[in-house]
């Protein structure tokens, strides 16, 4: 009985991980779409220039950095 459980556990864990991946994928896609919408609505000219020059990864990291700085300033005040 114990041997059966030892053999069955990895298979069940793998199935669980595959199911959770299917559930997680649409959620991350929606979050990414919202983040891109926020970027396009609130990005500065410098961040838009970075988007054209260096690509979306670099531009989004600058945008997130600016948002972090703004949130820290608001907390201090």
What single-letter DSSP state applies at residue 55? -
The 3-state DSSP class for residue 44 equals coil
**pLDDT tens, position by position, 42-75:** 888 888 888 889 888 888 888 888 888 888 888 8
Q: What is the rounded distance in angstroms from the CA atom of residue 13 to the CA atom of residue 33?
A: 30
* Cα-based distances in Å from 58 to 5, 16, 40, 47: 48, 34, 14, 9
Average pLDDT rounded to a whole number, residues 3-18: 92
pLDDT value, residue 64 = 86
Cα atoms found within 13 Å of the Cα of residue 45, Cβ hemisphere only? 0
pLDDT value, residue 13 = 96
């Amino acid at each position: 009985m114990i041997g059966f459980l030892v053999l069955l556990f990895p298979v069940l864990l793998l199935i669980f991980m595959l199911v959770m991946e299917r559930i997680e994928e649409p959620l991350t896609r929606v979050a990414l779409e919202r983040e891109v919408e926020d970027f396009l609505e609130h990005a500065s000219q410098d961040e838009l220039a970075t988007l054209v020059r260096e690509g979306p990864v670099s531009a989004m990291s600058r945008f997130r950095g600016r948002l972090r700085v703004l949130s820290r300033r608001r907390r201090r005040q």
